[in-house]
Structures are given as structure tokens and as C-alpha cells.
């Protein structure tokens, strides 16, 4: 976890949270520019996330839902003021990308895949979940118009293709993406919290909703390859999840969407 000690006097914290942060050590724990995350070192610890107004509402709702399913941390408070503020309880442990876990990749894969399967098997009629497939495709198409293009997700055989070629192919394949599974949407090892090899929770549910499971499977494969610096365990990961539940043509198409992500 990223921890940069902050001067609390310079922070503009809403009145609702002043008592909590008083006499506490506060750290910047942000991992992206989309939102700012403060770690409050008090009691068992808290995370206070802030983003532009309205941006955390869905994450608040989905985190509450998944907490009831044993997959997410407890939400303490949510305030939508000039900005959105989301306060969650820290769960014991660290991200699954810690070196002690990466040293035993097959053991780690078994644990992480089991939790992904639990997520994908949840009954979705209990929640009015956002259609992530629609928003996923909309983001891709908007970013294409903006000129966004990240070839790092492409295999070596595709590096010669232009953004136009790839976008044209996406138009053919996008009708095949389903919206029949509850997905995390950013299923990477830092977002899976383990404590002494025991699963604790998943975090950062802002991309979750009803979507295509192959998006999560793509990020599952990507995160292990990224962290281990090898694709050696790809087949093992797919076997653990269950190849009978995977459409390889769809899984292999997801990187083409992600170049515009």
C-alpha cells in the first residue's frame, strides 16, 4: 500500500470527518489520478476516498452490496457535498501483489480464482446493477474519438495494426459481449486483499456491475503476467477458472477494447 505522510493542517476535510481525523496520522494512499485516497491511522484504520461530486455514488452502492456478500470492506459513511467522500473500514492485510504471495504463484492463483468465481456466481437480481458492458463500449468509442490508443495491451503480432483497424474490428465483435455476470471490472492483484494467505476483501468497486466475465478474466491474466513478468501461468489460471466457462474468442478480443480504455 502506498503511504505518504501528509500535513493534516493543509487538508480540507468535511466537518463530518473532522472528529475521526483529529490527532490521527493521515497518509496519501492514492494509486490513480481519478480519485484521492487518504489512509487514516486510527483504531483498525480507515480509508477516506474523495472524487468530484457524483463520482463515488455507484462505488458506495456496490461496495455496500458486496460487503453483504463477504467480498468488500464495510462502508462507514458516504457524503456527497461539493465533492464525494467515501469512508470505509480498513481490513487486515495487504494487496495480493506482495512479494511473499508472488513467490508461490500457484497457491496465489488458486485463492484469487476462487474469489473471482464466487463473484461471478452471485445472483444479480438482488441489485439494480449498472450495465457495465454498455458503459465499457461507450468509453472505448469515446476514447477512440479522442485519439486515445495504448498499444501495450496488444500482442507482438498485432503491433503493426492501426487504431482504425482495431476499432473497425471492435465494431464486429462488440455485439458478442454479454451483460449477464456481476463483474469487478478492475480485477488486479492490488485490489484483492489477503492476510496471511486468507482472503479478506476486494476493493475499488467503481467499475463493477453487470458485464461480461471475460473482462475480469482478461485483467486476471494481465495482472499475473504483469506481476510475475511471465505468461507461464496462463494455462493454469484458465484451468483453475474452468475452460468450459470461457469463450476464448471473446477473451482474446478484450485487449482490442482495452487499447482505448
Residues that constitute the known binding site for Mg(2+): 191, 204
The C-alpha cell of 208 is what? 463493477
186 catalytic? Reply is yes
Residue carrying the nine cell digits 500500500? 1
Q: What is the DSSP letter of 91?
A: P
Among the listed residues 23, 82, 134, 186, the single catalytic one is: 186
Which residues fall within 8 angstroms of residue 151, CB to CB, at 6 or more apart?
A: 159, 259
Beta bridge partners of residue 41, listed in sequence order: 25
Question: In Å, what is the CA distance from 175 to each residue of 138, 157, 219?
Answer: 13, 24, 21
Question: In Å, what is the CA distance from 94 to each residue of 1, 10, 98, 181, 231?
Answer: 7, 28, 7, 27, 24
Which residues fall within 8 angstroms of residue 247, CB to CB, at 6 or more apart?
A: 176, 214
CB 121 within 8 A of CB 109: no
Instruction: Decide: helix, strand or coil at residue 86.
Output: strand
CA 136, CA 250: separation in Å to the nearest integer?
A: 15
Instruction: Decide: helix, strand or coil at residue 186.
Output: coil
Question: In Å, what is the CA distance from 190 to each residue of 27, 70, 250?
Answer: 18, 18, 25
Which residues fall within 8 angstroms of residue 237, CB to CB, at 6 or more apart?
A: 109, 113, 220, 221, 224
Catalytic residues: 186
Amino acid at each position: 500500500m502506498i503511504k505518504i505522510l501528509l500535513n493534516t493542517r493543509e487538508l480540507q476535510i468535511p466537518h463530518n470527518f473532522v472528529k475521526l481525523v483529529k490527532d490521527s496520522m493521515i497518509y496519501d494512499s492514492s494509486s490513480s489520478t481519478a480519485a484521492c485516497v487518504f489512509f487514516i491511522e486510527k483504531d483498525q484504520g480507515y480509508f477516506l476516498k474523495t472524487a468530484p461530486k457524483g463520482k463515488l455514488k455507484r462505488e458506495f452502492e456496490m461496495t455496500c452490496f458486496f460487503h453483504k456478500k463477504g467480498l468488500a470492506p464495510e462502508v462507514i459513511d458516504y457524503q456527497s457535498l461539493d465533492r464525494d467522500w467515501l469512508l470505509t473500514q480498513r481490513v487486515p492485510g495487504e494487496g495480493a501483489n506482495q512479494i511473499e504471495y508472488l513467490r508461490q504463484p500457484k497457491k496465489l492463483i488458486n485463492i484469487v480464482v476462487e474469489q473471482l468465481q464466487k463473484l461471478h456466481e452471485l445472483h444479480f437480481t438482488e441489485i439494480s446493477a449498472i450495465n457495465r458492458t454498455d458503459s465499457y463500449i461507450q468509453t472505448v468509442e469515446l476514447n477512440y474519438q479522442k485519439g486515445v490508443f495504448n498499444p501495450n495491451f496488444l500482442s507482438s503480432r498485432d503491433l503493426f495494426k492501426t487504431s482504425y483497424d482495431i476499432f473497425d474490428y471492435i465494431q464486429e465483435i462488440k455485439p458478442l459481449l454479454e451483460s449477464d455476470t456481476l463483474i469487478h471490472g478492475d480485477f488486479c492483484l492490488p485490489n484483492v486483499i489477503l492476510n496471511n494467505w486468507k482472503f479478506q476483501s476486494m476493493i475499488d468497486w467503481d467499475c463493477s456491475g453487470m458485464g461480461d466475465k471475460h473482462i475480469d478474466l482478461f485483467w486476471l491474466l494481465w495482472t499475473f503476467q504483469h506481476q510475475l513478468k511471465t505468461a507461464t501461468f496462463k494455462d493454469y489460471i484458465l484451468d483453475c477458472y474452468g475452460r468450459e466457462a470461457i469463450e476464448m474468442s471473446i477473451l482474446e478480443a478484450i485487449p482490442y477494447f482495452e487499447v482505448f480504455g
